[in-house]
Amino acid sequence: MIEWFAENIQFMMELLVEGLLIGMLYALIALGFVLIYKASDAINFAQGELVMFSGFIVVGCIEMLKVNLFLAILIGLASMVVFGLVVERGMLRPLIGRPVVSIIMATIGLAYVLRGISPMVFGSPTHKMKLPIRDMPWEIGGVLVMPIYVVACLVSVILLGAFAYFFIKSRSGIAMRAVADDQATALAMGIDVRHFFALAWVMAGVVAVIGGVIWGSLIGVDTMLALVGLKVFPVVILGGLDSIPGVIIGGLIVGAVESIAAGYLDPIVGGGTKDFAPYVLMILVLMVRPYGLFGQEIIERV
């Protein structure tokens, strides 16, 4: 009895630790949603496709140009910075001051364009991306942990902390939040809305490159990588669309729920529970807190 109890405790701990580490990866991808929302007050439905496109660029540089991983990541970062500026200048700048739904529909269109172009340019087969990280798990306190999850978690923590500081302490971050609150008022106060739109898309592109490299190394790079955007959507809604701390908490919760559901419910029902369990949790939370756990409640006088 004692041995059975100890084995179950260890199994639970392994599921929980792995889920929390994966949850930090979700939080990193969800950060792209928050960055765009803080600048334009609109949801970027192309964030998953940006991650996919970034992964294709990096792996394409490795396979076609025969460069090393570090240089390929630098090329990917530079490419996504340029891509973000082009998207802002050509697609979003004409929409400044227009209804938010216009920006949302534009991002949906961008998502489908990237899904079509990526396999045309880089090929449709799954591309493998190998990071210089050992495959054998580490044993920490009797719990087996994959090194890639630990490294990815550390990278996520650093980036999330840096962006949180940017929005809270820097003048540019405060100005970006002002743009999201009211574009017309921000323009009247002398804030260059176009500049902060471009900055938001550049930062979202940088986050997409890091996410594309990490997730590409875990599941391979193909069009299915874009589904990561859908997987992290409950993270964004749970935490709150405008809250970086909320994204972190939401990522940890979703990662833990997914891992525990996969470990305990999937063997009973035959699989699939980890895919819809976060959405069930999201619906339950929205019934109580429509703006998420840490989202800012908006009260309008009618």
Residue 126 one-letter amino acid:
T
| Tens digits of residue pLDDT in 131-181 | 888 777 777 766 778 888 888 888 888 888 888 888 788 888 888 777 777
Distances 268 to 18, 247, 262, 273, 278 between C-alpha atoms, Å? 21, 31, 10, 10, 18
For residue 11, the model assigns a pLDDT of: 76
C-alpha 56, offset from chain centre: 16
Contact 196/179 with Cβ under 8 angstroms?
yes
Phi, psi of 139 (to 5 degrees): -105, 110
The reply to whether 292 falls in a domain is: no
The reply to whether 300 falls in a domain is: no
The reply to whether 256 falls in a domain is: no
The reply to whether 111 falls in a domain is: yes
Q: How many CB atoms lie within 10 A of CB 94?
A: 11
The reply to whether 272 falls in a domain is: no
- The model carries a pTM of 0.87
| Tens digits of residue pLDDT in 249-271 | 888 899 988 888 888 887 887 77
The reply to whether 286 falls in a domain is: no
Tally of structural domains, the chain: 1
Residues 6 or more apart whose CB falls under 8 angstroms from that of 265 comprise 273, 274, 277
| Tens digits of residue pLDDT in 171-211 | 888 887 777 777 677 777 777 777 887 888 888 888 899 98
Mean confidence (pLDDT) of the chain: 83
Q: Which domain holds residue 51?
A: 2-226
Handedness of CA 214, 220, 225, 229 (dihedral sign): negative
The reply to whether 253 falls in a domain is: no
Distances 74 to 82, 131, 151 between C-alpha atoms, Å? 12, 15, 19
Tell me the mean pLDDT in the region 72-80: 93
The reply to whether 259 falls in a domain is: no
Q: Which two tokens stand for residue 122?
A: 């880089």
Whether 238 shows a pLDDT value over 70: the answer reads yes
